[in-house]
Structure 1
Amino acid sequence: MKTSDLFDLLLLAAIWGASFLFLRVSAGEFGPAALAFVRVIGGALFLLPIVAMKGHAGALRRKAGHLMVAGVLTSGIPFLCYSFAALSITAGLSSIFNATTPLFGAVVAWWWLKDKPTRWRAAGLAIGFLGVLWLAWDKASFKPGADATGWAVVACLVATFCYGLSASYTRRYLQGVPPLAVAAGTQLGASAFLALPALLTWPDTLPSARSWGAAVALALLCTGIAYILYFRLLARVGPANTIAVTFLIPAFAVAWGWLFLGEGVTLAMLIGSAVILLGTALATGLLPRKSA
């Protein structure tokens, strides 16, 4: 991997790690549905002119139905779930659950596309989900009150399952569609899905400038610019190397949460994160590496 590609990978991880910080800052004032809608509509408005300049607008029309479904799975439900989770659990913890995305992707591909995993990858799935159980057991509480974090944990796992489902859906129905067209089209689809819930739950009190700044950063930086970096990495270094961003996001998210919000890190979080990332490395084929 070239130095420039490594820089892009670290930058993408830092940006996506920061998304969990921005969610924590803005979710309380916006509410989950309104915040998720601002994020996707802003991302769509950022990406659409780029798609038009590259001459990919026709792909949006031809694949509108599939892009709508993919948008609900890729952004609509996940962004809603993470905005909800941000109300009660830390940025670092949300990002660690987000790291299970490749695990769910492998399970869905096994079930739907009959992409049977090797023994190493099957072991990785088992190890990764043990890490999820470890963290969920430690952090999930369904007791009434401020400490009722259980539904937030469930929301994170619903989001990552949708990510895994969307990967197989995109692979099956959107093959050959220009990646930036997929990115813009899915944000439009998610915007249509979230428009009514956002309207019905729009906050009565205008969110503060700080919350609006975080919401705009989610839309432009963590969605629009991040997609450009992501697809550029896919083209240059391939999916197997790009998936390494999954391992870096929790580190950045924990660092941003500690630096700007004073969030702490527990031993259970460290152990659970290590187990999840080990399982992900095995499930995605990053480990064990074949000798040259």
Structure 2
Amino acid sequence: MNAIELVVLAAIWGASFLFMRMGSAEFGPVPLIALRVGIAALVLLPVITAASSRQHLRSHWKPLLIVGLTNSALPFCLFAYSTLYVNAGLDSILNATTPLWGALVAFVWLKVSLTRDQVLGMVLGLAGVLILVWNQLGAGQGTQTLAVLAVLVATLSYGFAGHYSRRNLVGLAPPLTAWASQFFSALVLLPGALYWWPQHAVSTTAWWAVIALGVMCTGLAYVLYFRLIAHAGASYAMSVTFLIPVFGVAWGALFLHEAIGMQTVTGCLVILLGTALATGKLQLIQRLRAV
């Protein structure tokens, strides 16, 4: 049952890149994400019905605000911006670099030593990114290069948020963290959403995309994610990172007719190999030395 839930979660989060690409052009990145997190906060609203949850919210609002900014508002907007210029499949693959940045943040900020496997993983992750974007760099396509950099900043933000949460939100119920991050993100993004609200009529397709983002890809996905953590453990739940690119590329190809070339497949495999090494899922150098 856990395996089925893991695949379903990967399929849902993989679809988020599809929906962002469908909605970002019409809404604009900031209004789209403001709606996404606002809808998600409404879906998760039952989380704060308990008095204990409201008490924790009052006592931890500052770190929850920071997590909301770095784990939702900023990275979601950067991903939405990137989908204006690069395809959904590429975004979903680059999302897999999050654990690489997490390891780097731990090294720089928390002074956690890196193993040789982790260093190799980071190098391979960077090589995978270069493989994916080599054509854009060679052709001098500045907007696409900037979009890729935006995604890498977004995944760096995810990496920071993960470590910050572990240091400052110890003992706080994960569902409350999920709701608070969406709620504070919505508050922060509201002024920008009103300022950049589209002056033209938004299509029904774009509206359905943003509703799917908020309800399914954020609200319900968080519920499923925390259910997996409770039943199978955090390490198992986080392995969803390796499955998301598969679905992100598949949904993009199926619904947006995005091409899947050898360059995409190669870059994806190299990034996933680097991620496996950086997160300790694979120990290559140690095994070679033991032979």
Distance 1:201 1:128, change over 3 A: same
Name the structure 1 match of 2:168.
173
Name the structure 1 match of 2:92.
95
Corresponding position: 1:193 with 2:183: no
Residues 239-259 of structure 1 show CA distances to partners (whole Å, capped at 9, x for unaligned) of 222222111111101111111
- Contact map agreement 1:30 1:207 (CA 8 A) in 2: yes
Alignment of 1:235-254 (within 5 A): 235-254=230-249
Residue 271 of structure 2 aligns to which amino acid in structure 1? I
Looking at structure 2, the residues matched to 117 and 242 of structure 1 have their Cα atoms a distance apart, in angstroms, of 23
- Contact map agreement 1:57 1:181 (CA 8 A) in 2: no
Q: Using the TM superposition, name which of 120-129 and 200-209 deviates more.
A: 120-129
Looking at structure 2, the residues matched to 166 and 280 of structure 1 have their Cα atoms a distance apart, in angstroms, of 18
Alignment of 1:1-292 (within 5 A): 4-53=1-50, 55-140=52-137, 143=141, 148-288=143-283
Distance 1:286 1:202, change over 3 A: same
Residue 15 of structure 2 aligns to which amino acid in structure 1? A
Residue 118 of structure 2 aligns to which amino acid in structure 1? R
Looking at structure 2, the residues matched to 9 and 174 of structure 1 have their Cα atoms a distance apart, in angstroms, of 25
- Contact map agreement 1:138 1:268 (CA 8 A) in 2: no
Identity across aligned pairs (percent)?
45
Looking at structure 2, the residues matched to 142 and 172 of structure 1 have their Cα atoms a distance apart, in angstroms, of 41
Residues 24-51 of structure 1 show CA distances to partners (whole Å, capped at 9, x for unaligned) of 1111110000001000111111112233
- Contact map agreement 2:47 2:179 (CA 8 A) in 1: no
- Contact map agreement 1:71 1:186 (CA 8 A) in 2: yes
- State the Cα distance separating 1:288 from its structure 2 match: 2.9
Residue 219 of structure 2 aligns to which amino acid in structure 1? G
Looking at structure 1, the residues matched to 97 and 218 of structure 2 have their Cα atoms a distance apart, in angstroms, of 20
- Contact map agreement 2:12 2:221 (CA 8 A) in 1: yes
What's the TM-score once normalised by structure 1's chain length?
A: 0.93
- State the Cα distance separating 1:55 from its structure 2 match: 4.7
Looking at structure 2, the residues matched to 189 and 14 of structure 1 have their Cα atoms a distance apart, in angstroms, of 26
Looking at structure 2, the residues matched to 120 and 240 of structure 1 have their Cα atoms a distance apart, in angstroms, of 18
Kindly indicate which of the two structures has a greater share of residues assigned to helix: 2
Distance 1:203 1:142, change over 3 A: farther
Residue 187 of structure 2 aligns to which amino acid in structure 1? A
Looking at structure 2, the residues matched to 143 and 12 of structure 1 have their Cα atoms a distance apart, in angstroms, of 34
Looking at structure 2, the residues matched to 244 and 143 of structure 1 have their Cα atoms a distance apart, in angstroms, of 33
Gaps of 5+ in 2: none
- Contact map agreement 2:47 2:176 (CA 8 A) in 1: no
Q: Using the TM superposition, name which of 42-51 and 257-266 deviates more.
A: 42-51
Looking at structure 1, the residues matched to 181 and 159 of structure 2 have their Cα atoms a distance apart, in angstroms, of 15
Looking at structure 2, the residues matched to 252 and 143 of structure 1 have their Cα atoms a distance apart, in angstroms, of 27
CA-based RMSD of the aligned residues comes to 1.8
What's the TM-score once normalised by structure 2's chain length?
A: 0.93
- Contact map agreement 2:14 2:92 (CA 8 A) in 1: yes
Residue 279 of structure 1 aligns to which amino acid in structure 2? G
Looking at structure 1, the residues matched to 171 and 34 of structure 2 have their Cα atoms a distance apart, in angstroms, of 28
- Contact map agreement 2:131 2:267 (CA 8 A) in 1: yes
- Contact map agreement 1:142 1:151 (CA 8 A) in 2: no
Residues 97-148 of structure 1 show CA distances to partners (whole Å, capped at 9, x for unaligned) of 101000001110111122222222222122112212222333346546xxx3
